[in-house]
Amino acid sequence: MSSQPATLEGYIRTLRLQLVSRSEVEWWGLIVLKDSTFEFHLVLFEPDDLDSNDGKSSLFGWNENGNLGLHQSVHTNRPRLEADGLKITVPGQTNLFVGGLPFKQISASMIEAFLDDWHRLKILTALNNDDQRRKVLPWLQANGLSVYRQLEKAGRRTLEEAVFPPEFDFLEEPGV
């Protein structure tokens, strides 16, 4: 049995996802802002065949190395978007693989950005830098990746869609 790639980049290279049609792999994702930190989750679903409702779901999450690391990869049913989040069930089990987070399917242009080595590197580098993160988060959101902020209500975790302040373009010095 071969070992699973540890990062999204390794996964893309191992499965040669750059050579696979975007319609063959479903991408779901979200970012959650929490004080000065954040969570970033991606779910990729590869059906057993094009007409199948079963396949492999792989969950990636932001890790301490500043990359999207593989958390879990398991055979599941096709993800379903429900009112309280993305539901992915493991056949024969009652527990949910992912639930309760408001994942959304990622746009084709954002999938291309993650498949492209140069764009993926720029995105991950920007997320690792506090100043650049302030600029890349609105860009990610504008291009179809859901970004939320975490609220605390009566000790419960509640999420709302993030709204970013406008850039201070007037602070730029002319000619610089």
Q: 136-170 pLDDT, tens per residue? A: 999 999 998 999 999 987 777 788 999 998 877 77
| pLDDT value of position 156 | 79
Cα 2 to Cα 27, 43, 75, 82, 149: the distances in Å are 23, 21, 16, 34, 38
Q: What long-range pairs does 33-42 form, CB within 8 A, spacing at least 24?
A: 33/137, 33/147, 33/148, 33/149, 33/150, 33/162, 34/149, 34/150, 36/130, 38/62, 38/127, 38/133, 40/68, 40/127, 41/101, 41/103, 42/8, 42/68, 42/106, 42/114
- Map tokens 């987070």 to a residue: 101
What average pLDDT does the chain have? 85
Element housing 17 (H / E):
none
Number of domains in the chain: 1
Structure tokens given for 91: 């056949």
pLDDT above 60: residue 175? yes
User: Has residue 159 been placed in a domain?
Assistant: yes
pLDDT in tens, 100-138: 788 889 988 899 899 899 999 999 999 999 889 989 999
Strand partners, 27: 44
User: Has residue 1 been placed in a domain?
Assistant: no
Between helices 130-142 and 117-127, what is the axis angle to 10°? 130
User: Has residue 2 been placed in a domain?
Assistant: no
User: Has residue 113 been placed in a domain?
Assistant: yes
Maximum average pLDDT range among 15-24, 88-97, 148-157: 148-157
Say if pTM beats, i.e. exceeds, 0.75: yes
| pLDDT value of position 41 | 93
What three-state secondary structure class fits 48?
Answer: coil
User: Has residue 144 been placed in a domain?
Assistant: yes
Q: Which residue has the higher pLDDT, 92 or 106?
A: 106
pLDDT in tens, 32-67: 998 888 999 999 999 988 788 899 999 999 987 888
User: Has residue 151 been placed in a domain?
Assistant: yes
User: Has residue 73 been placed in a domain?
Assistant: yes
Of all residues in the chain, the percent with pLDDT exceeding 90 is 36
Q: Please state the rounded mean pLDDT for residues 2-31.
A: 81
Domain that holds residue 58: 8-171
